[in-house]
């Protein structure tokens, strides 16, 4: 059964009968079918009308959550955690707006905390304006870790030559056409004087050689394009320590299918298993 059918089956008995015996359902009267359809539409509307999470609120009124293409009835307890709240706000403050990514950031912070138990530095390929970098650094009290946090990006969007024909066909565009804008100076202004943070501007893979760390414990990859993402994975493979975490931001997002296919092929080459998260992220560890 699909997730929708499972959810409905817990609430509406007729839907359970639909899943168990669709033949019997077809024998019901037209009026009964109309009633079932109304119930289904009502639940859809309720799901779509769940109140999005607001950053200034530390709690949700009720166990419902809807944000960043994720809707669930499970209680997001992390929204009440002071450390998470401070970290998320640090990300918002760094870029001057809220991406409304609470659950994605929660996962990234959890992964970063686990990686801190390992030796090695941190890398973000596709740092953008620094939303996630700022959140992680705040959460881990970065200056006191005595490590280096590398922030890599072109800081003005995708590179035309790296976008495949398939990616272009599904709408991936470079530069301003892809809604990317020059942000290098803004990022330097926010991060350049932070202890243990190194900013590297340039196209991947060319810029990767500027990363001097020989051991990496955490790598976040969010490049919106398959080719440079896989090149990042190949480059850092030997530098990733045993058990190092690699977090893929776009792994199963709609419209990013070429990246998922490319990472699945990468995983097959290295005998890895990628954890497909409901946030659209993917997570794997270096064996």
62-73 residue pLDDT tens: 447 888 888 888
Strand-by-strand arrangement of the 282-285 sheet: 197-201, 149-153, 121-125, 216-221, 240-248, 282-285, 275-276
Return the HEC string of the chain: CCHHHHHHHHHCHHHHHHHHCHHHHHCCCHHHHHHHHHHHHHHHHHHHCCCCCCCCCCCCCCCCEEECCEEECCCCHHHHCHHHHHHHHHHHHHHCCCCCCHHHHHHHHHHHHHHCCCCCEEEEECCCCCHHHHHHHHHCCHHHCCCCEEEEECCCCCCHHHCCHHHHHCCCCCHHHHCCCCCHHHHHHHHCCCCCEEEEECCCCHHHHHCCCCCEEEEEECCCCHHHHHHHHHHHCCCEEEEEEEEECCCCCCCCHHHHHHHHHHHHHCCCCCEECCCCCEEEECC
Model pLDDT, residue 280: 97
Model pLDDT, residue 3: 58
Model pLDDT, residue 104: 97
Does the pLDDT of residue 59 top 90, yes or no?
no
Phi, psi of 247 (to 5 degrees): -110, 125
- Contact (Cβ atoms closer than 8 angstroms) between residue 155 and residue 201: yes
- Of the pLDDT bands very low, low, confident and very high (cuts 50, 70, 90), residue 257 is very high
Model pLDDT, residue 19: 53
Cα angle 202, 203, 208; round to 5:
80
Structure tokens at 237: 């493979």
Is 85 exposed, middle or buried (CB count within 10 Å of its CB: 0-12, 13-18, 19+)? middle
Model pLDDT, residue 24: 45
Mean pLDDT of 136-161: 96
- Of the pLDDT bands very low, low, confident and very high (cuts 50, 70, 90), residue 278 is very high
Question: Which of the two residues, 11 and 38, has the higher pLDDT score?
Answer: 11
- Whole-prediction pTM value? 0.78
Does the pLDDT of residue 215 top 60, yes or no?
yes
CA separation for the pair 257, 264 (Å, rounded): 11
Does the pLDDT of residue 111 top 80, yes or no?
yes
Any idea which of 95-99, 146-150, 171-175 has the lowest mean pLDDT? 171-175
Q: Tens of pLDDT along 14-42?
A: 545 545 544 444 454 555 544 444 433 43
């Amino acid at each position: 059964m699909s997730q929708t059918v499972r959810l409905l089956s817990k609430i509406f008995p007729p839907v359970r009968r639909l899943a168990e015996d669709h033949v019997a359902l077809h024998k019901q009267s037209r009026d009964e079918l109309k009633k079932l359809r109304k119930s289904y539409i009502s639940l859809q509307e309720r799901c779509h009308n769940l109140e999005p999470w607001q950053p200034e609120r530390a709690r949700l009124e009720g166990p419902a959550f809807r944000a960043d293409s994720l809707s669930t009835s499970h209680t997001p307890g992390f929204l009440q955690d002071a450390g998470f709240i401070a970290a998320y706000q640090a990300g918002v403050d760094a870029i001057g707006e809220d991406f409304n990514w609470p659950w994605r950031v929660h996962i990234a912070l959890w992964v970063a905390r686990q990686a801190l138990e390992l030796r090695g530095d941190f890398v973000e390929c596709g740092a953008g304006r620094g939303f996630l970098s700022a959140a992680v650094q705040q959460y881990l009290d970065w200056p006191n870790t005595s490590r280096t946090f590398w922030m890599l990006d072109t800081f003005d969007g995708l590179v035309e030559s790296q976008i495949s024909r398939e990616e272009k066909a599904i709408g991936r565009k470079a530069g301003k056409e892809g809604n990317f804008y020059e942000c290098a100076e803004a990022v330097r202004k926010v991060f350049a004087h932070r202890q243990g943070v190194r900013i590297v501007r340039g196209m991947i893979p060319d810029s990767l050689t500027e990363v001097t760390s020989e051991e990496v414990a955490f790598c976040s990859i969010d490049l919106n394009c398959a080719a440079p993402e896989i090149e990042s994975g190949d480059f850092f493979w030997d530098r990733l320590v045993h058990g190092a975490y690699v977090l893929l931001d776009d792994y199963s997002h709609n419209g990013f299918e070429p990246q998922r296919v490319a990472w699945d092929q990468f995983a097959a080459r290295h005998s890895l298993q990628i954890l497909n998260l409901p946030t659209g992220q993917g997570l794997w560890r270096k064996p």
